[in-house]
């Protein structure tokens, strides 16, 4: 009986991965009790995560996964499925961690944090499994609006939250218009609403298709915090509560980036529009890597620094996608996991001790040794230090770009690593070599419950860097499917 149910769940995996978080969100709104809401949220986030990973595993093993056909049409491809698993994991970790703040910051909006987080997870996963361009648009917009609402949840009490949400709404609104235009161009050029049609049909207007794909990617870049289209990142993440920053800043950015990867994967491998799309992605990637790095060096608010650093890492990810090769997609998937792990470890560990700025980190090593270890792991990963997942992602990217003759991309990766040395080094120096002031010491409140998911992320950042064999095999498998050379 149980195995039968499990098989049904596996057969409907894409549907469940999308719908379970949304059902969970509805249940949370009905229940409203914070503790129960957290339990529902954890279950609704973790169960789809397990299904999403199982689906990736099956895909990488055999190239196809037998799935039931439903009225809500889904399309499972290598990059989308793998990215959905990573996004689900990021969301599950963030939602689990957010529960640690229930005790002290419980308010009328507490349950909404979980509900909106789940909506965001379901939305981004929907965009990653969408069969049609229109479904992708609807799902992505739903996820984005959930993210905006999450940031603006405390706007009654905190003007910074309102400011952040408004900035997101304005830049996201403009991006949505571009996304709609781009997808409309694509559908018009393809004469078909299905995403997979891009790989098969004869293009009536390749130039229009290229413009459409480029517009869509630029719009998604604005939602993913990719520089220079990231005007909202500082305002939204800088003063957000730790749990909100964790959900919106880690899972939200990862989701938008993942959808970008998926669209980019379809567009960049197509011989007719690939070169133009690759150019857009490469320019965007290089700009984001450099601008994000410079801004991260200058940031004194660590949540803001994490946002900018993620933008810099996202630049590396986009360079991998721009290559349009299996090696490039594989490096991008590793990079996505690196962004997720590093971001979750950094933002979560800050939240665990109630720290926000660099000055708050003075003497953190003594006050919160485990959280400090997590920040150190994140900083090392952002630097691209050996034996971390950050190093692995960048190594694979440089290898792929050198193989394609993109030597300049290797230069960009080095710029990101060098910048990482500066801002990552600054974090480590503050934590271990600055003395804590009496005021900081008296104000310190440890939220140990938050540490479990944070440590999972930090350990993953190191463990995958030390033994990456399985991850690389999976990444290579799904990337090969994306480029049509897989099984």
Partner 1 sequence: MSAQAVLLCLLLAPLLQAALVLVFSRPPGLRDLIHIVLSLAGFVFALLLVGAVLRGETARIVFAQPLPNVQLAFTPEPLGAFIAVALTGLNTLHAVHAAGLARASAESAPARLLAFLGLCTAFAVAVALSANLLSLFVSYQALILAAFPLVAHRGDEESRTAANTFLATLLAASMGLFLPAMIWTYALTGALDFRAGGMLAGRVDQLTANILLVLFVLGMAASAMPPFHRWLTASTRAPFPGLVAILALSVLPAGGVGILKIVAFVFGAAMQDAAIASTALIVLAGAGMCVAALIALSKQDIRERLAYSCMAQSLAVVMGALLALPAGLFAAALQILALSCAGATLLMAAGTTAIITLRTRIADYAGLGRVMPWTFAGFAIASASMVGMPPFAGAWAKLWLITAAAGSGLVWAAALAAAAAILTFAHLAPVAADALASRAPTDAFKRPDGASILLAAPVILSALATLSLLVLADPLANFLAPIWTPQSP
Provide the minimum distance between the beta carbon of 418 and partner 1 in the complex, in angstroms, as a whole number.
Answer: 5
Q: Could you tell me if residue 403 is left (phi over 0), alpha (psi between -120 and 50 degrees) or otherwise beta?
A: alpha
* Residue 57 within binding range of partner 1, rule CB under 8 A: no
For partner 1, the closer CB: 56 or 297: 297
198 to 227: interface string for partner 1, x by CB under 8 A: ------------------------------
Retrieve residue 203's tokens: 């293009």
For partner 1, the closer CB: 200 or 403: 403
Q: Could you tell me if residue 384 is left (phi over 0), alpha (psi between -120 and 50 degrees) or otherwise beta?
A: left
To the nearest 10 degrees (0 to 180), the angle between helices 159-190 and 206-223 is 160
Provide the minimum distance between the beta carbon of 446 and partner 1 in the complex, in angstroms, as a whole number.
Answer: 22
For partner 1, the closer CB: 133 or 406: 406
Alpha-carbon distance 450 to 409, whole Å? 37
Provide the minimum distance between the beta carbon of 425 and partner 1 in the complex, in angstroms, as a whole number.
Answer: 5
For partner 1, the closer CB: 359 or 466: 466
Provide the minimum distance between the beta carbon of 381 and partner 1 in the complex, in angstroms, as a whole number.
Answer: 13
For partner 1, the closer CB: 387 or 446: 387
Provide the minimum distance between the beta carbon of 404 and partner 1 in the complex, in angstroms, as a whole number.
Answer: 11
Number of residues that bind partner 1 (CB under 8 A): 30
Q: Residue 487 to residues 55, 68, 78, 128: CA-CA distances in angstroms?
A: 15, 20, 11, 21
Dihedral of CA atoms 247, 468, 431, 350 in degrees, nearest 10, equals 10
* Residue 414 within binding range of partner 1, rule CB under 8 A: yes
Provide the minimum distance between the beta carbon of 305 and partner 1 in the complex, in angstroms, as a whole number.
Answer: 17
For partner 1, the closer CB: 433 or 487: 433
| Sign of the torsion angle spanned by Cα atoms 112, 118, 119, 121 | positive
Nearest CA to 249 out of 465, 364, 93, 41 is that of: 93
DSSP secondary structure string, 37-82? HHHHHHHHHHHHHHHHHHHHHHHHHHS-------SS-B---HHHHH
For partner 1, the closer CB: 63 or 411: 411
| Sign of the torsion angle spanned by Cα atoms 337, 375, 103, 160 | negative
Provide the minimum distance between the beta carbon of 361 and partner 1 in the complex, in angstroms, as a whole number.
Answer: 14
For partner 1, the closer CB: 64 or 402: 402
Who's near 108: CB < 8 A, 6+ residues apart?
none
For 445, list phi and psi in degrees, rounded to 5: -130, 120
384 to 413: interface string for partner 1, x by CB under 8 A: xxxx---xx--x--xx--xx------x---
Binder of partner 1 out of 8, 30, 467, 485 (CB under 8 A): 467
416 to 455: interface string for partner 1, x by CB under 8 A: -xx--xx--x---x--xxxx--------------------
* Residue 191 within binding range of partner 1, rule CB under 8 A: no
Binder of partner 1 out of 466, 470, 484, 485 (CB under 8 A): 466
For partner 1, the closer CB: 303 or 401: 401
Alpha-carbon distance 236 to 37, whole Å? 25
> Which residues sit opposite 357 in a β-bridge?
301
Which residues contact partner 1 by CB under 8 A? 383-387, 391-392, 395, 398-399, 402-403, 410, 414, 417-418, 421-422, 425, 429, 432-435, 465-469, 472
């Amino acid at each position: 009986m149980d195995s039968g149910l499990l098989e049904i769940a596996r057969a409907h995996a894409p549907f469940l991965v999308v719908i379970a978080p949304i059902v969970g969100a509805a249940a949370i709104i009905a229940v409203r009790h914070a503790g129960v809401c957290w339990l529902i949220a954890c279950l609704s986030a973790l169960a789809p995560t397990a299904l999403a990973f199982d689906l990736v595993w099956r895909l990488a093993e055999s190239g196809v996964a037998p799935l039931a056909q439903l009225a809500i049409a889904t399309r499972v491809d290598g990059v989308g499925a793998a990215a959905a698993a990573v996004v689900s994991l990021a969301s599950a970790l963030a939602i689990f961690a957010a529960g640690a703040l229930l005790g002290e910051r419980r308010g009328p909006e507490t349950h909404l944090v979980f509900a909106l987080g789940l909506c965001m997870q379901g939305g981004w996963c929907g965009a990653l499994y969408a069969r049609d361009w229109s479904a992708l648009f609807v799902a992505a917009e739903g996820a984005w609006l959930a993210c905006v609402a999450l940031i603006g949840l405390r706007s009654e009490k905190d003007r910074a939250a309102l400011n952040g949400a408004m900035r997101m709404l304005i830049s996201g609104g403009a991006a949505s218009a571009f996304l709609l235009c781009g997808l409309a161009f694509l559908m018009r050029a393809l004469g078909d609403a299905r995403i997979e049609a891009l790989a098969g049909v004869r293009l009536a207007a390749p130039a229009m298709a290229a413009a459409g794909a480029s517009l869509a990617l630029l719009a998604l870049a604005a939602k993913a915090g990719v520089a220079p289209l990231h005007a909202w990142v500082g305002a939204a993440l800088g003063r957000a509560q730790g749990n909100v920053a964790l959900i919106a800043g880690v899972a939200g950015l990862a989701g938008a980036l993942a959808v970008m990867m998926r669209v980019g994967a379809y567009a960049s491998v197509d011989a007719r529009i690939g070169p133009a799309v690759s150019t857009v992605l490469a320019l965007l990637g290089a700009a984001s890597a450099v601008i994000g790095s410079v801004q991260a060096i200058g940031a004194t608010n660590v949540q803001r620094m994490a946002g900018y650093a993620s933008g810099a890492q996202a630049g590396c990810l986009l360079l991998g996608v721009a290559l349009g090769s299996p090696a490039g997609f594989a490096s991008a998937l590793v990079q996505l996991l690196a962004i997720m792990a590093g971001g979750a470890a950094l933002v979560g560990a800050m939240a665990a001790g109630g720290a926000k700025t660099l000055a708050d980190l003075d003497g953190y090593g003594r006050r919160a040794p485990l959280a400090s270890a997590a920040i150190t792991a994140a900083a090392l990963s952002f630097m691209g230090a050996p034996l971390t997942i950050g190093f692995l992602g960048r190594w694979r990217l440089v290898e792929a770009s050198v193989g394609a003759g993109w030597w300049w991309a290797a230069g960009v990766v080095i710029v990101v690593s060098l910048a990482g040395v500066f801002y990552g080094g600054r974090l480590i120096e503050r934590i271990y070599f600055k003395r804590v002031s009496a005021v900081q010491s008296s104000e310190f409140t440890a939220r140990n419950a938050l540490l479990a998911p944070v440590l999972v992320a930090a350990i993953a950042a190191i463990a995958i860097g030390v033994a990456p064999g399985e991850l690389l095999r999976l990444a290579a498998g799904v990337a090969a499917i994306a480029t049509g050379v897989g099984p």
